Amino acid sequence: MTLMRMCMPVLVGSLAATACGDSGKGISQPPPPPSGIVLVDSLPIPEFYGIHDQFVRDGLAFVCAWNTGVLIYDVGNGIKGGSPAHPMLVGSVVDSGGEAHNAWWFHNPVTSENRYLFVGQEGPGNIGANSSGDIHVMDVSDLANPREVAHFHRANAGTHNFWMDEANQVLYAAYYNGGVVAIDVSGTLSGDISSRLIDTVSFGAGTTYTWGVQLYNGSVYAIDMVSGLWHLNSSLATPGSSGGGNNEAARYSSDLWVANGYAYTGTWDHFQRTGLAGSLLKVWRLNATGAPVAEDSILVSGVGAVSDVEVSADGKLLMFSTESGPNSGFWFYSLADPAHPTLLDKYPIASGVHTATFATIGGRLYAFGAENPSGAALIILDVTALDQ
């Protein structure tokens, strides 16, 4: 049964925020704890268009900065003496198409190489109809001098968020109106790798426009802006056999994260699909077959989108970012009960946070976020105290 939280003003940080719902039953939010969020750094990013996403691994932050390209910062790796408080630029590369949106640094367990960085180019798109933008493959063997070595192109569709099955050397990419694609990224990558397409799938009876994808427990979960959360077999050739899909019609869906036997998805309501205000964080229980069943939802008023969702590696802390409204920023929820997240704290960013990701560096948990222009910046928060 879907349960939506009742509107309940709560004070978080210095802002009044509201978590709302339609169940008609008031649920008191716990009083906020002493702020467990510490701003560690706000690193300005050139506004060419600014920062869209960041991938943090091994103390390196790969900042996707649109036409500025990918900026590689040492945020604790040590290669340049950087730390979360003092990121140090290691190198940068501009992909051949510009519009660098997202990235994944591939740690290949088969070859023990960390050679390739996959960069998603978000080209022009007509949301719900068509899109453009390729996957660019960077050789980052020399982090100070990365270079593009390969690219993947799909006609009449453009890429969005990635997930990797590193053990099997497969890159899953959400491809907006192209659904989801699986690409063989084993071995040496060079030139046009479009022929490495393994499989692809589109969703729903109507228009496909897929935002994100994640591999979890051997299944692929995909979030489609139009038709909601889908559960696939790892073989994309047999989509839908396990359920899901066509489960969110009132709003457009956005990002997803799957953890603890639950899926957490956002909605994107800039246009308000059916006139409903605010945006949702939806909670889905995965049943015995792995199919999502709606469990709970949290309505965030005063935002146009829940723009990114992630759960910490220990499964205790849920984070989502919001943008396009007065309640924009980072939101943190306890997953003590993973079916019913409870608000811990919020860090407001007036211009909005486009994406956010966790990283553990030096034993502390950090949230990295992309602050929208004007004032584009990589925001780094120490949220260790929230991860209890």
Partner 1 sequence: MTQCRAGLLVLALGLAGRAEAQRPSVRWGAQAFPALTETNVVPGARSLGEARVLLPVAMLHAAALGGRLRLVATANFEKYTIPHGELAPGNWGESFEDRRHPHTLVHELMLVGGGPHYFVAAGKGFVPFGTDDPMTRPAVLFPVNHHLSQILERAVAMAGLGMRWGSLEGAVFNGDEPISPGSWPAWDRFGDSWALRLTVRPVPGLETQASHAWVHSPENRPGAGPDDRKTSVSARWERGRWYGELEWARTATADGFFVFRSVLGEGALQLPGHRPYVRIERSERPEEERVFASPFRTRRPLFENSILGITRWTIVTAGDAIELRRGMLRYAPFLEASWIGIARVGGGVFDPATFYGREHGASITVGIRLAIGMTMHRMGRYDLTPAEGNTRMTMPMDHGVRSE
- Which residues here bind partner 1, judged by CB under 8 A? 46-50, 52, 66-67, 98-99, 101, 122-132, 207, 225-226, 252, 270-275, 302-304, 324-326, 354, 372-374, 376
Name the β-bridge partners of 61: 56, 73
Indicate the residue among 66 and 172 with the shorter CB distance to partner 1.
Answer: 66
Q: Shortest approach of partner 1 to residue 327 CB, angstroms?
A: 9
Q: Shortest approach of partner 1 to residue 187 CB, angstroms?
A: 33
8 A C-beta contact, residue 266 and residue 280: yes
Report the amino acid identity of residue 177. Answer: N
8 A C-beta contact, residue 304 and residue 325: yes
Indicate the residue among 126 and 186 with the shorter CB distance to partner 1.
Answer: 126
Q: Shortest approach of partner 1 to residue 123 CB, angstroms?
A: 7
8 A C-beta contact, residue 327 and residue 35: no
- Cis preceding linkage at 254, omega within 30: no
CA distances from 26 to 33, 67, 79, 279, 301 (A): 20, 47, 51, 19, 16
Indicate the residue among 28 and 374 with the shorter CB distance to partner 1.
Answer: 374
Indicate the residue among 267 and 334 with the shorter CB distance to partner 1.
Answer: 267
Q: Shortest approach of partner 1 to residue 1 CB, angstroms?
A: 28
8 A C-beta contact, residue 336 and residue 386: no
Q: Shortest approach of partner 1 to residue 268 CB, angstroms?
A: 9
Indicate the residue among 97 and 146 with the shorter CB distance to partner 1.
Answer: 97
Indicate the residue among 76 and 278 with the shorter CB distance to partner 1.
Answer: 278
The per-residue DSSP string of 13-25 comes to TTEEEEEE-SSS-
How far apart are the C-alpha atoms of 201 and 185, rounded to whole Å? 18
8 A C-beta contact, residue 248 and residue 228: yes
Q: Shortest approach of partner 1 to residue 71 CB, angstroms?
A: 15
